[in-house]
């Protein structure tokens, strides 16, 4: 009953009729999306966390998730493990999975590291980027400008991500690129928040232009500084934003 899959298979399960569904009241919306692809579960839970649908500190119930995706607990646990390894949730032994509470101080520290990595990527990109790579970055800058011109924060947010990813790739250090992407992904939700700050999109765009200029001219030190500042500003803006909400702040 609780596992819709097993019932329709021709084989008979020994004593499968153990107990009638004791939680059948919960909504099971995903009726249509049987056959979830591997990784879908992970992505869905991640999305819930990043969008704030799952609040920090909240417990994630394995059984509920299993029902929601119409799978057993096994793949759900797998997904939870992966999310824990990325740092999005915390697995307390014998207690379960909880959405991680990230303090403001911790976020600022993460932005600080991100700034360093982006700066490094910029420095290397300025030295190593070839003709085609630079053209691609230029294109993405243009896309950012278009999005900004139409005041479309969602589009800007998306193009911005692509812009930075292109720089990671351009640095010629695949490991750095993957580490930077990982952190970028991790800070996604908080980056987005800043776009609400008035004029931030325009400022960001101006910074992007200077970054491209520096990379194009091959000025490694400048590219490093511009990118580092670009991210550092985001960290500060984020801190401002938070401070404006909460008067008391323990941000070291």
Going by C-alpha positions, the residue among 36, 65, 31, 63 that lies closest to residue 48 is 65
The mark string for 179-218 relative to a second copy (x by CB under 8 A, - otherwise) is x---------------------------------------
Q: Which residue number, 36 or 158, has a Cβ lying nearer to a second copy? A: 36
Strand blocks (E) in the chain: 59-60, 89-92, 96-99
Map the footprint of DNA across residues 97-156, applying CB under 7 A.
97
* Contacting range for DNA; rule: CB under 7 A; set: 61-69, 107-115, 123-131, 244-252: 61-69
Strand order in the sheet with 96-99: 59-60, 96-99, 89-92
CA distance 100 to 88: 6
* Binding of residue 233 to a second copy (CB under 8 A): no
Given 47, 51, 74, 146, the residue binding DNA (CB under 7 A): 74
* Binding of residue 15 to DNA (CB under 7 A): yes
The angle formed by the CA atoms of residues 93, 96 and 99, to the nearest 5 degrees, is 115
* Binding of residue 3 to DNA (CB under 7 A): yes
> What, of DNA, a second copy, none, does residue 246 touch, CB below 5 to 8 Å by kind?
none
* Binding of residue 45 to DNA (CB under 7 A): no
* Binding of residue 161 to DNA (CB under 7 A): no
The structure tokens listed for 142 are 């243009």
The structure tokens listed for 114 are 């991100």
* Binding of residue 110 to a second copy (CB under 8 A): yes
Q: Which residue number, 84 or 197, has a Cβ lying nearer to DNA? A: 84
Which residue pairs from 244-248 have beta carbons closer than 8 angstroms and sit at least 24 positions apart in sequence?
Answer: none
* Binding of residue 176 to a second copy (CB under 8 A): yes
Residues 6+ apart with CB under 8 A from 33: 69, 70
* Binding of residue 38 to a second copy (CB under 8 A): yes
- What values do phi and psi take at 89, rounded to 5? -130, 170
List residues near a second copy by CB under 8 A: 38, 77-78, 81-82, 85-86, 93, 106, 109-110, 112-113, 116-117, 120, 172-176, 179, 252
């Amino acid at each position: 009953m609780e596992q819709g899959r097993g019932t329709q298979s021709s084989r008979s399960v020994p004593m499968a009729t153990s107990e009638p569904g004791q939680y059948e009241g919960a909504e099971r919306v995903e009726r249509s999306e049987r056959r979830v692809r591997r990784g879908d579960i992970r992505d869905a839970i991640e999305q819930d966390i990043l969008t704030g649908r799952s609040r920090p500190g909240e417990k994630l119930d394995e059984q509920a998730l299993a029902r929601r995706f119409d799978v057993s607990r096994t793949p759900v646990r797998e997904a939870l493990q992966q999310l824990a390894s990325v740092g999005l949730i915390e697995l307390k032994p014998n207690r379960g999975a909880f959405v991680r509470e990230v303090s403001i101080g911790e976020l600022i520290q993460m932005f600080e590291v991100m700034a360093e990595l982006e700066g490094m990527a910029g420095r290397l990109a300025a030295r190593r980027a070839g003709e085609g790579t630079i053209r691609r970055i230029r294109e993405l800058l243009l896309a950012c400008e278009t999005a900004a011109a139409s005041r479309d924060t969602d589009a800007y947010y998306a193009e911005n991500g692509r812009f930075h990813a292109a720089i990671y790739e351009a640095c010629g250090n695949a490991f750095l690129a993957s580490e930077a992407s990982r952190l970028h992904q991790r800070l996604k939700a908080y980056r987005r928040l800043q776009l609400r700050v008035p004029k931030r999109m325009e400022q960001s765009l101006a910074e992007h232009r200077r970054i491209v200029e520096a990379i194009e001219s091959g000025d490694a030190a400048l590219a490093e500084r511009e990118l580092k500042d670009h991210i550092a500003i985001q960290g500060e803006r984020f801190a401002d934003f938070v401070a404006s909400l909460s008067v008391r702040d323990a941000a070291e």
